[in-house]
Amino acid sequence: MDTALELKIGIDNGQIFSDKQIIDKLQKSELVAELTCDLPEKPLALVWRLICISEIPYISKLDYTQKLIDIVYEKLATPFGFSLSGDEKMFLPCYNAMIVSALCRLDRATDQQVRNAVEWINTNQPMQKGVKVEIPNLNFDKYGGCFKNTPCYIGLAKSVFALRDFKEQTNETKFDIQLKKGTTYILDHKFFKRLSKDEPITKHITDISFPETYHLNAVELLRFANKANLLSDKNSTVLRNHINKKQNKDGKWKNSFNYKADGYAVFDKDKKESEWTTHIIKQALRE
C-alpha cells in the first residue's frame, strides 16, 4: 500500500501523526513522487494536477503544492472565478467549481481567488430549471450549453459540491440558499437519474472512479451525500444500492473508468481492485 494512502486511512480513522511522520510518509509515497515530479504549464494539466494533489492529506506542507497553487492563481484566477484562459473566453462552471473544491481541500478556502469563484456560483449558477442566464462577455453556448432551460447537471452538481466544501472549511452560511436549492435538485434526481425516464443523466455518471474528472461519477455523488448527511434520505437509496452492487466478493471496489490526461494521475494501478477508491467509498458509507 502506498504510504500516502496509509496516511489518509490513519487520519480518517482518527490516528494522530506528528509533522515528522507526515513528511516521512509523503516523501516515501510513489504516488506523491509522481504528482510532484514536474509543474504543469498548460491550463487543463494544472487543473488535473491540483485536483489530484488535493486528495493527499497534508500535502499542503510541501513547497511543491504552494508553487502549484501560485501558478493556478497566476494563470487561471480572474475577478469572477477560475477560467482555463485566465479571462472570459474559457470560463466553464464545472471547472471553476472543481478548482474551488480542490483549493478547499488544501485549506485555501479563505483566499480571495476562491471567494471570487464562490461568489460567481452563488450569483450566476442556476440551481433549477427555467432560469434564464445572461452574463456579459461569457458565452456558454459554444460548450454545448451550460445554461439552457435545463442547466448542465455536471456543472450544477459540481457547483453544489463547491459550495458545500466552502461551507465546510469556513462555516459561513452566506450561500446556504443556493446550496439548499442545488441539493434539492440533486435529491430530486436521486443523484444520477433523469426525471423524464429511468436512466442515468450522463454516460459516466454511474462510474466508479477516483480522483474526479469533468465526468461526474458515482463516487463523487456518494462523498457529497455523506458530507451533506443525505445517505439516510430515501432519494439516496438508488445511489447506495448502485454502489453496493459494484462491490466485489472480497468487499472491495475497482475503478470502472480511468481517465487519461496531462497532469492527471491514476491513483490505483491494480486492474483487479482499487485501494484508494475502496477506502473513499467505505469511509463515506461508514460515516
Amino acid at 235: N
Cis peptide before 151 (omega within 30 of 0): no
pLDDT band at 111 (very low <50, low <70, confident <90, very high): very high
pLDDT digits (tens, 9 = 90+) for 201-251: 999 999 999 999 999 999 999 999 999 999 999 999 999 999 999 999 999
Q: Is the pLDDT of residue 129 over 90?
A: no
What is the C-alpha to C-alpha distance for residues 165 and 114, in angstroms, rounded to an integer? 11
Structural domains in the chain, CATH included, are 36-171 (1.50.10.20), 189-287 (no CATH)
Q: Is the pLDDT of residue 142 over 70?
A: no
The pLDDT, as a whole number, for residue 33 is 98
| Residues 8/57, Cβ–Cβ less than 8 Å | yes
The pLDDT, as a whole number, for residue 150 is 80
H/E element, 152 = none
Residues 6+ away with beta carbon under 8 Å from 267 = 5, 31, 52, 55, 210, 211, 274, 276, 277
pTM confidence score: 0.95
DSSP string over 59-116: GGGSHHHHHHHHHHHHHHEETTEE-TTSSGGG--HHHHHHHHHHHHHTT-TTSHHHHH
The pLDDT, as a whole number, for residue 139 is 66
Buried b (16+ CB within 10 A) or exposed e, 18-31: eeeebeebbeebeb
The percentage of the chain sitting over the pLDDT mark of 70, rounded to a whole number, equals: 97
Q: Is the pLDDT of residue 14 over 90?
A: yes
Phi, psi at residue 51, to the nearest 5°?
-60, -45
The percentage of the chain sitting over the pLDDT mark of 90, rounded to a whole number, equals: 86
Burial of 235 (C-beta count, 10 Å sphere; 0-12/13-18/19+): middle
Distance of CA 27 to the CA centre of its chain: 25
